[in-house]
Structure 1
Amino acid sequence: MTETRPAGRGGAASEAAPVRILLLEDSDLDAELVAEFVARIGLPHAIERVMTREGFRAAAASRCHDLILADYVLPTFDGLSALAVAREHCPGIPFVFVSGTLGEDVAVEALKGGATDYVVKQRLDRLPRTIVRALAEARARAERETADQALRALNETLETRIEERTRELAEANTELRRQVAERERVEVALRQAQRLEAVGQLTSGVAHDFNNLLTVISGNIGFLERTVTDATGRRRLDMMRSAAERGARLTAQLLAFSRRQRLDPKPVDLNETVASMRDLLQSSMGGAVRIETVHQRDLWPAMVDPTQIELVILNLAINARDAMEVGGALTIETANVGLGSPRTPEEPQAGEYVMVSVNDTGTGIPPAVLERVFEPFFTTKEVGRGSGLGLAQVYGFAKQSGGGVRIDTQMGQGTSVRVYLPRASAAALGAGLAARADCPVSQQADGHPVVLVVDDDSAVREITATLLAELGYAVREAGSGHAALAALDRDPEIDLMVVDFAMPGMNGAEVAHEARRRRPALPILFVTGYADTAALMQTGQAGADRIVQKPFQDGELGRKVKAALRSGQRPAGPRLVSSREAGS
């Protein structure tokens, strides 16, 4: 039987969930009395009354009550047995004895057995306070248990969460370190690139001015050689010419580093290049160094100046020889490679390249030296054994060709220098075949063609004019671009213009552009200490057959003037041909 009695105080209390009470009582009168006193707790409540062992066990097992009130003496059931059932099925529910025969000894035993409290039926006025206290203690106990459970759960997951957080922090720290390292690497690479660029601009200007001086020196040596007949004088002139040629080689290396040398790129099979150089390399290395070559089959053609790449390989081989003890090994390898983003400013951009590497078994390069190996004039060799321009020339050549360089080294193990060169395109391969099919133009008929020499340096201009005059040409001179254009306007008989590229006011490319507007068919030859290929291409006459390098070497000026005049009214296109073809 279930009985519900609302509290007599109304208000908020009447809206609360009723206190669910399980009453174990066989006497109807006593049950009514207990209910009357329970009503005085001032809370909504519901009383479920049971009288038998089976009924009590079933009710206790349901665990749907907030409080148990139990008589101690029952016809077939006693209070201690009821307490045992309650402790078994619902140990957290407060258990209060309400009995008229509960002695002190029995009460103590009941409390030891787990009872919350006891009230004798003669003092039922104590029942409301006992119920309220028992409910409060049960609620507090439940809250403590909930808190303890939460704390245990927290403790159980704390270690896991700490590990997870530690891992997250470690990953974040690793990523931060990676970003800092990457930033430092990029900053170092940027500073290195800026330093090399600044040095390159300086060296290119110095090399150009030095080439002008060498042009005057070499030209006048040539003139003097025709008049000096005694052996001592000729020996001194030979020494002077040898020094001038050495100076020209140094300036060529400077121009290579600054990426302003004149290049004649064409499709080249590097396997053939390396194979053809083997005898030269062996003689340069000496018998104590073992030379090995590793050629990749189906090697892509490289778009590169064939003469310059030979010099690069020879230069690297000599450097390797100097780094090895007697009995070392030199390995030259070729390969097709695909590169990702560069890690250093010396490496090329991502793409496909043809690689030639020179590997030695030498002493290796210390880190402090490795940072500066591409700087011009930096060398660790003793005085007289090197100019410090070797690797600078390799770097400049590779970069100007559209590739790059990478050095891998280990102290005491050796060094590998990889030169990456651009892969020749299908169009370049087709152009190379067409160039080889070209036939030389027949030589111009005898006469005295008029050549206009344009150079702001009067000494260089005099050398150029004298050389051309000795070759039988009628020479006109102009000291600036504006003077050259005025001479063209005045003299329609000019057959060829030889113009210096680097001049104040109007440079050679600008002069050529204006000259072509006036005389579209006029052949133009550039004389320069370095060639800005992009600017010259705008004139439509950027071929190697239309560029003469200062100082003049081995009759190159005469050969190219003759070839330009031989072209007649046919303007030269931008096709690049080799110096050997131009001089043939």
Structure 2
Amino acid sequence: MSGRDAGAAAPIRILLIEDSDLDAELIAAALEDAGLDCRIDRVMTREAFAAAVAEPCHDLILADYVLPTFDGLAALDHARGHCPDIPFVFVSGTLGEDVAVEALKTGATDYVVKQRLDRLPRTVLRALAEAQARSERRASAEALRSLNESLEARVAARTAELAEANAELRREIIERQRIEEALRQAQRLEAVGQLTSGIAHDFNNLLTVIAGNLEFLGRAVPDERSRRRIDTMRAAADRGARLTAQLLAFSRRQRLEPVPVRLNDTVAAMRDLLQSSIGGAVEIAMVLEPGLWPALADPTQIELIILNLAINARDAMAVGGRLTIETANAILGEPDRPEAPPAGEHVTIAISDTGSGIHPEVLKRVFEPFFTTKEVGKGSGLGLAQVYGFAKQSGGGVRIETCLGEGTTVRVFLPRAAVEPGAVVGEESEAHPPRPQGERPVVLVVDDDEAVREITVTRLSEAGYQIHEAGSGSAALRVLAEGTDIDLVVLDFAMPGMNGAEAACEIRRHRPALPVIFATGYADRTALMQVESVCEDRIVQKPFRGTELERKVAAALSERPALRLVVARSVGV
């Protein structure tokens, strides 16, 4: 045991090693006379002593130095090995000074000669007090050690918590930086898109005037040389129109006619066209997934996108190389970049090359219009911008995977179509009685640009229509409010004050049977969807191409739908 409180009420338990009955009585009497409450267990042999200390239950050991079967030093040595915390005091009549010093060095707590047993009570109390102090010091040391260990564990746990919190903070900072970068990229692309759509609108108005007047001049010029010059200018105007179409594609303002499409059929049918376009030195491989879902997209635009990406891939490969076109189904989670597709089911078409790859700094800007790394005259910088605009307007997205020196893969994601290709879509029609035979239809032309309006009016006048003009949406409404008999309205979309979509809604409210056609340099699809009768047959792109304007006006007048344009057509490809 580890000592006891000297002031405790329990008796002091003493193990006495003494072979003399008289000396044992004298020792007990000395302790009793001092007022100590003691319970003494006496042993005389080595075996009895060993049994007593095997399971320590005493507070103190008193031992004679000379014993019949073993000596006190042997008893001390055995006690130190089995119960070192119990004080050991020699009480002997033959203990010399040298022997006593040796005993203390060996581990004895104290010694008392039998001739001075009056000192024994004080020696016992001092030995017990020292034992109690040692026990308390050990307990304090153990408590301190345990506290240190616990503190170290708490410090380690807290350090781990702080490290995890720091790592989580770093992850949040990185994620925030990624989101902020994606937001900046999206804002930059959106700003450039708004700018390009406005530029495209203005250029299309200019090209409408140029191309329209060139067409009129072409009819009046008699000599062949002048006709050739006019044809050259008309070709330049057509190239300008194609350039603005690419700008509109990037800014997601182009007109799309999405239908369910079998991408595998589209890709397979383009093999010969692709081979002739990129040259025989490039090997073309197609990996088309069986059971591919139908994609919802404009089939004409898909072909242009595939051809565009194939030519880009060819340009990225020095000589020869391998071009791989793959199709696949994909179920995606939330996007992490502005060009990425939204979550959901998509159909993908991937064009891969074995070219030089794209540098990370270039990769950040590849979707910006007019950004190109090609030599002057070798590229417009609108290819990937057009791909980006088409994919996003179609409800999908784009992903680029590239490795310098190994090649690039551009994946275009298109939304999965809800119905299979070939389904027939029809809408109810409500015909309006035609004009009396021989009476010319009356068309109201509304455009804020006088030069553009003059081209439209001239073309329709030459086609045999009576014309009324208005320079704004509110002016058109005033013409109608005057009771003028109008058979069809040709509306510009982008006009100050009241745009074409808003004007069309007002016209529908007052004259629901009156058909409307939009003649526009670009069209905000969301705004146009507010007008119920809007579809491909009710939109004419500026600059006018061929007889598209006259043909769509004639078709609208022949149908004369009252509220909704009715189309019965197959949406198959």
Q: Normalising by structure 2, what TM-score?
A: 0.90
Alignment counterpart, residue 317 of structure 1, candidates 301, 310, 313: 310
- What secondary structure does 2:425 align onto? helix
Match of 1:478 in 2: 470
**Counterpart selection for 1:127 from 93, 98, 120:** 120
SS of equivalent residue, structure 1 residue 225? helix
One of 518, 530, 538 as aligned partner of 1:546: 538
Deviations 1:147-175 (A, max 9, x none): 67678889999999998777666655544
CA distance in 2, matches of 1:459, 1:375: 32
Instruction: Tell me, yes or no, if the aligned pair for 2:333 and 2:342 is still in contact at 8 Å.
Output: yes
Equivalent residue pairs, number: 567
Q: Secondary structure at the match of 2:220?
A: coil
Query: 527, 537, 552: which one pairs with 2:519?
Result: 527
2:385 and 2:314 mapped to 1: Cα distance? 18
Q: Could you tell me how far apart the structure 2 residues matched to 1:15 and 1:95 are?
A: 20
Give the alignment of 1:102-501 within 5 angstroms.
102-143=95-136, 145=138, 171-426=164-419, 432-434=423-425, 447-501=439-493
Task: Render the CA deviation track for 1:488-535: whole Å, top value 9, x for unaligned.
Answer: 122352111111111111111111111111111111111111112222
Code of the aligned partner of 1:506: M
Q: Does the 8 Å contact 2:197/2:247 carry over to 1?
A: yes
Match of 2:494 among 475, 496, 502: 502
- Alpha-carbon contact 1:376-1:389 (below 8 Å) kept: yes
The structure 2 residue matched to 1:60, chosen from 53, 56, 59, is 53
- The amino acid of 1:544's aligned partner reads E
Q: Would the aligned equivalents of 1:395 and 1:405 in 2 still touch at CA under 8 Å?
A: yes
Structure 1 residues 6-45: aligned runs within 5 Å: 14=7, 19-25=12-18, 30-31=23-24, 33-35=26-28, 37-38=30-31, 45=37
Contact 2:424 2:571 in 1 (8 A): no
Distance 2:568 2:523 in 1: 14
Correspondence for 1:49: 41
- 1:543·1:575 contact (CA, 8 Å) conserved in 2? no
8 Å Cα contact 1:23-1:47 kept in structure 2? no
Q: CA 1:223–1:580 in structure 2 vs 1: closer, same or farther (change >3 Å)?
A: farther
Determine if contact 2:512/2:562 at 8 Å carries over to the other structure: no
Gaps of 5+ in 1: 1-11
Q: Which moved more, 1:417-426 or 1:569-578?
A: 569-578
Structure 1, residues 209-250: CA drift from partner, whole Å, max 9, x if none?
A: 111111111111111111011122111111111111111111
SS for the counterpart of 2:319 is coil
Equivalent pair of 1:378/1:388 in contact (CA under 8 Å): yes
Change (3 A) 1:19 1:497: farther
AA aligned to 2:250 is F
Shift of residue 136, structure 1, vs aligned partner: 3.9
Distance 1:84 1:144 in 2: 24
Range with greater deviation from structure 2 (128-137 or 362-371): 128-137
**Residue identity in the other structure for 2:531:** T
What amino acid is aligned across from residue 228 of structure 2 in structure 1? R
Distance 1:140 1:14 in 2: 14
Q: Encode CA deviations 1:362-392: one digit per residue, 9 max, x unaligned.
A: 1111111111110011111111111111111
Q: 1:95 to 1:569 in 2, by over 3 A?
A: closer
CA deviation profile, 1:51-87 (whole Å, cap 9, x unmatched): 4325543332231122111233456664344334423
Q: Structure 2 regions of 5+ residues with no counterpart?
A: none
Secondary structure of 1:68 counterpart: strand
Quick one: structure 1 residues 37 and 184, their matched pair in 2 at CA, closer, same or farther if it must change by over 3 Å?
farther
TM-score by length of 1: 0.88
- Contact 2:425/2:569, CA 8 A, preserved across alignment: no
